Amino acid sequence: MCFAGLRSGSAQVALAKISCPALLGSEIGEPNQESWQKSCTVDRISEHDYQAHAFPELSALLTALDAYPDELFAELGADVLTIEFEDHTRYVVNSHLAARQIWLAAERSAWHFDYDAARARWLDTKTQVELWAQLEQVLTRKLSHPVALKRAL
């Protein structure tokens, strides 16, 4: 995570915490405008487009998880999808508007997914694994059998 901010003399005022790997220029804390525009999620998708894709994705995941009623309980509240298991373990998939990402927290790990409009898929910022595939992987490990989430047409 990087902090975007305004520079005033030697002080920097943090305005937003966002996913942006190439923020810093040659001087510490000085934004590199070209890198900023190419790598920041916030610049790649508008708030309107983000909202148009994020909530329907969480809703579709909820529908797909309903295929496993004996093994997990899934609930969508606002922009947070909570998956709970019999042993009271919880996985969370949530919309993060400020970063324009969907986040997954499971197995003491976290993944951040950016929307790829060309593929119409949410891809992990580090591995480029698709959200549904990553969730299937963690659910497969948790449930000790293959999990295949079905997307509604």
Whether 18 and 33 map to the same domain: the answer is: yes
Residue 86 has pLDDT above 70, yes or no: yes
Judging by beta carbons within 10 Å of its beta carbon (0-12, 13-18, 19+), is residue 25 exposed, middle or buried? middle
pLDDT band at 153 (very low <50, low <70, confident <90, very high): low
Identify whether the C-beta of residue 101 lies closer than 8 Å to the C-beta of residue 113.
Answer: yes
129, part of any domain: yes
Whether 67 and 138 map to the same domain: the answer is: yes
Q: What is the pLDDT of residues 93-103, one digit of tens each?
A: 999 999 999 99
151, part of any domain: no
pLDDT number for residue 6: 29
Whether 37 and 89 map to the same domain: the answer is: no
Whether 67 and 128 map to the same domain: the answer is: yes
15, part of any domain: yes
Print the domain residue range for 31. 2-44
131-143 and 47-65 helices, crossing angle to 10°: 30
Give the separation between CA 36 and CA 15, rounded to whole angstroms.
Answer: 15
Q: On the CB side of 124, how many CA atoms lie within 13 Å of its CA?
A: 16
Whether 68 and 106 map to the same domain: the answer is: yes
Residue 128 per-residue DSSP state: -
Q: How much is the pTM?
A: 0.71
Whether 23 and 56 map to the same domain: the answer is: no
Whether 13 and 81 map to the same domain: the answer is: no
> How many structural domains are present in the chain?
2
